[in-house]
Structure 1
Amino acid sequence: MSILLRTNKLSKSFKGKEVVSEVSMTIKKGEIYGFLGPNGAGKTTIMRMLTGLIQPTKGSIELFGSMMNRNASELMKRMGSIIEYPIFYDHLSAHKNLELHCEYMGCYEPKAISEALQLAGLSQTGNKPVKAFSLGMKQRLGIARAISTKPELLILDEPVNGMDPVGIRELRGLFTMLSKEYGMTLLISSHILQEIDLLADTIGVIHNGKLIEEVTMEQVRSEHADYIEVITTDGRLAAFVLEDKLGIVNFKMMEDHTLRVYDPRMTAAELARSLVLNDIGIESLTRKSISLEEHFVKWIQGGSDNG
């Protein structure tokens, strides 16, 4: 898979304070790249640099095989984006807003506009002015505008803001379809970790302006993908049985009575039998998977510890 976007030590300072520090990220053609980080971590600032809204203080951006500072205007035509809250001509309809956008971008196609509105779930809005749209509808219109020019790269900053659960699910399906069927590459930031978990091929984690992790979701899922969580009447005795009698060291005490066993050789049935034979009561025993949220917290805490 070829590289579509690459940054090299990308940095940005405002009034002498560095808010993005030497970020080197790589996005491959056709993938969905999930951008994770706490509020204020630098996600939006990076996206604004990638879309040419602000200039980096240091570092470089390579896009579609070209350095962005050499022919940025031409590269922008191959990109669609929503950065922060989308702004429209409120007195105009959705269709008219997209017409003006496409004319500005130099790629006016009436069919593409209608298709974009249909994909975003806005084909029935007619002449209704945008000022009468709900927050969720405006977010959909922002997505329709971003895809109306059929971009090769789609950059979406918190695209499911203001959406209800049904709308979020519909947009998830849309983003997957754009990647798989249209061949678009997507960079999506979101604070809803479950959505990134369900969507992304690769994730980048940013904290305090630094990229602290860049990893494929396949790698994330392969690392201790499954574990057995057991709640017992005596957690300390259960830990002793695991380590001393069963030779299991790959486990973690979560609370006084809760343990997580990560050893792939241990079955739930064997664990239950061993605990019962040692007079340890079991309140619950379930097999679970480590969520992206748990990985995210681990990365952020590690990033904090490392400064």
Structure 2
Amino acid sequence: MAGGVLAVSALVLTGCNRHQSALAPFGLEARSTLGLTVVLTIGAAAIALAVAAIYVAAARAPEGRLSHKGGMRLVLWLGAIIPTVVLTALLLWALPAMRPLPAEAGDLRIRVEGEQFWWRVAYRPPGAPPLFSANEVRLPVGRTVVFELAATDVVHSFWIPGLAGKMDMIPGRTNRLVVKADKPGTYRGVCAEFCGLSHALMAFDVIAMEPAAFDAWLAAARTAPPRPQDRGAALFAREGCASCHAVADNGTRDIGPDLTRFGERLTLGAGILAPTPENTAAFIRDPHRFKPGARMPAYAHLSEDEALALARWLKRTSPEEGR
């Protein structure tokens, strides 16, 4: 029996990792929630063991050992007084930990909108114009960040397990989530509300950066990366890609993800593929093969060579030059 319990526990724990797990926090709220969970779990285990011990003692006690008066006293202490004191103490300790982080007017704001099935991201630093991105969130460690969360089609749920709790994204409404990362690294966020066929294929990368590195990235991201006017550029124009996607100076489009710095992203298709030119070309020709229900049309009429040329051009919209 014990071996079976250990085997099941080990199987469950294989789903935990440091990139996407509430057990590996990198933010103040998630760390506080983990501490609260540990304390309450230990408390629940202690109560269960105490009840089991009382049961064993009562079962083995000789008949008549406990009088009616003694039994009523036991019920009073163990059923009323001690639980009331313990639960009150836990409540008083937990309430401050549940208080949301305070935010100030000068804090960085990041607006994230959930769509089927990707994430629209806009950085809104104080006193500067917004910077648009998609399927990736970068955060400065040690600074308060305010997420402004909304949806454009159906209800989604924004969740970065190691950073903070879940927050629903509701069409027509903006919810606010205040966070503070305390450890740099690369993590993962997900949609935690069923939103359609590719709900399970809707993730995003979270990069927590040292403040100086974040400031440098934010400044560099405002400069349009070099984009050669080659065959890929001609295909992008010919196929009407600019009708849905913004790339550098072709303006802001409200339909598809911003591709200006697509070459910097760690994943393709909202966390489902490695961002290689080959995968990008395959996604362009048949996006529904990788993401059922996606609104992007298929470009199956493109040859593999044409799709690869377009993919390499998109990858070159970053200093990595099509890595």
Larger Rg: 2
Q: Considering the TM-score relative to the shorter chain, is it more than 0.5?
A: no
Instruction: Bin the TM-score by the shorter chain.
Output: under 0.3
Normalising by structure 2, we get a TM-score of: 0.20
Higher relative contact order (CA 8 A, sep 6+): 1
